Structure 1
């Protein structure tokens, strides 16, 4: 019996998903640390902007 093309595609998709999960997702560890630092920087800038706005409005 000849294998069905859909079965082959599904099998390849499952193998690929397993490999991605073993690698820790799509992003590497360094990229995740970089994204975390970017978000931390964004939060710090927002907090400083709020403090500056409050200070400006009080004067």
Structure 2
């Protein structure tokens, strides 16, 4: 996963990306309508991204 992946700015349900100032604590997606805590949304995105990343057990 890209080091600068916008995990808190990307909808964990539909993938829509929007600007999110740090003062906003709830991610409200205008595309799919999900309303979710910003940190929970980011953690879901990071978990999904981590699963897509190949694992190298030797290094």
Quickly name the TM-score band, shorter chain normalised. Answer: 0.3 to 0.5
Higher relative contact order (CA 8 A, sep 6+): 2
More strand by share: 2
Choose 1 or 2 for highest CA Rg: 1
